[in-house]
Amino acid sequence: MNPRIDTDEARELWLHASDEELKERAGQVRARYHDPDRATYMVMRIINYTNVCVAQCDYCAFFVLPNQDGGYVLSRKEVFAKIDELVEFGGDLVAFNGGFNPKLPLDFYCDLFAAVRARYGERVEFYALTIAEFVFLADRARIDYAEAAARLRDAGVHWITGGGSEILTEDFRKRHAKWKYTVRDYFDAQRAIVEAGLRTTATMVIGFDETLDERLEHLQRTRDFQDEAGGLFSFLCWTYKPYGTAFGGREIAPREYWRHIALSRIFLDNVKHVRTSVLTQNEDAFRALDYGADDFDLPIEDEVTQKAGATIDLDLEALLAIPRSLGYTVEYRRAERPAALTA
């Protein structure tokens, strides 16, 4: 078994390893957790309950400011209709993701999540918020992260995901998202979430202007967090969609994404699942299974990435045929309930 690599070794691998070597090394780490010929997936929907946001990230094509036309907040009825439609598609996971809407207090979210839990029970699991939104809500409510996490947990929340992380370096945040949160805030909040008994995940987005060192810093911080606090169920990486954003730019090539998935799988030897992004890579996402990924979503909606150029294919059987053609058995994976909350 290869020992854990540090960032210098990761840099060497990135710069000099062949695709075959990366695949092999990533496959060795993947095999510690998963059957090499098996992949798991979920059918899910991201519900963008509001597009009003004051964070103004320059890579976002989704938000409108509070005083601009076109802002919305979904009604409870609209949220339920979207969940019902997901269930008809055979899905059981919702991820709520909206903007930093200053008119929506923490109580709005607690009421919404309690209503979703009351209506669907354990039949549908939901990722309630991203850490980015969680930090904003706690700050607005003037309560600490521990109290915010406890209030959400008491409202029926099981998961607050690591979404909205993009690249976790302070420099990246100053360049692109200075109103969002600091990296320190991010991990302080995630630690409180774990300590409250909730589950969480790690995410990463590549393809902006981040340097190799910034990518490695992100991976290092993620691995350190998992060593110290635990609680990261999975690591999902997707790619920046540049269309309609203030920052602009071009999309990276699939091969760069696959190589990054492999490097992440090798580096994050303490995270069970490495997930590939069908939402941003479409059919190219499945090739990442050869580079160490073991799990993926089939999303039926995400307005945030769709506004920036993502396309969603609703022919789920045609999509599942692709990993099968690559030699994988694919199995549906139900969203897990945190052990700490299991009766």
Residue of the chain from 39, 46, 53, 202 that contacts ligand SF4 (CB under 6 A): 53
Residue of the chain from 57, 86, 124, 262 that contacts ligand SF4 (CB under 6 A): 57
SS3 127: strand
Footprint of ligand SF4 on 158-177 (CB under 6 A): 177
Q: What does the CA dihedral 21, 22, 28, 30 come to, rounded to 10 degrees? A: -160
Q: Check binding of 207 to ligand SF4 (CB under 6 A).
A: no
Helices (H), 55-130: 76-88, 106-120
b/e code 140-176 from CB counts within 10 Å (16+ = b)? eeeeebbebbbbbbebbbbbbbbbbbbbbbeebbebb
Stretch that binds ligand SF4, among 51-59, 87-95, 199-207, 217-225 (CB under 6 A): 51-59
Angle between helices 19-33 and 254-267 (to 10 degrees): 50
CB of 25 to ligand SF4, least distance (A): 33
Stretch that binds ligand SF4, among 49-57, 83-91, 209-217, 294-302 (CB under 6 A): 49-57
User: ∠ CA(320), CA(323), CA(326), 5° rounding?
Assistant: 145
Q: Check binding of 55 to ligand SF4 (CB under 6 A).
A: yes
CB of 189 to ligand SF4, least distance (A): 14
Phi, psi for residue 273 in degrees, rounded to 5: -110, 130
For 283, other C-beta atoms within 10 Å of its C-beta total: 14
Residue of the chain from 99, 207, 323, 338 that contacts ligand SF4 (CB under 6 A): 99
SS3 151: helix
Burial (CB count within 10 angstroms: exposed 0-12, middle 13-18, buried 19+), residue 103:
exposed
Q: Check binding of 100 to ligand SF4 (CB under 6 A).
A: yes
Q: Report the residue number, 129 or 157, with the smaller CB distance to ligand SF4.
A: 129
CB of 177 to ligand SF4, least distance (A): 6
CA-to-CA distance for 57 and 284, rounded, in angstroms? 27
Residue of the chain from 180, 215, 259, 275 that contacts ligand SF4 (CB under 6 A): 180
CB of 278 to ligand SF4, least distance (A): 20
Residue of the chain from 7, 11, 24, 56 that contacts ligand SF4 (CB under 6 A): 56
CA-to-CA distance for 49 and 100, rounded, in angstroms? 11
Q: Check binding of 132 to ligand SF4 (CB under 6 A).
A: yes
Q: Check binding of 229 to ligand SF4 (CB under 6 A).
A: no
Residue of the chain from 25, 26, 49, 63 that contacts ligand SF4 (CB under 6 A): 63
- The contact set with ligand SF4 (CB under 6 A) reads 53, 55-57, 60, 62-63, 99-100, 132, 177, 180
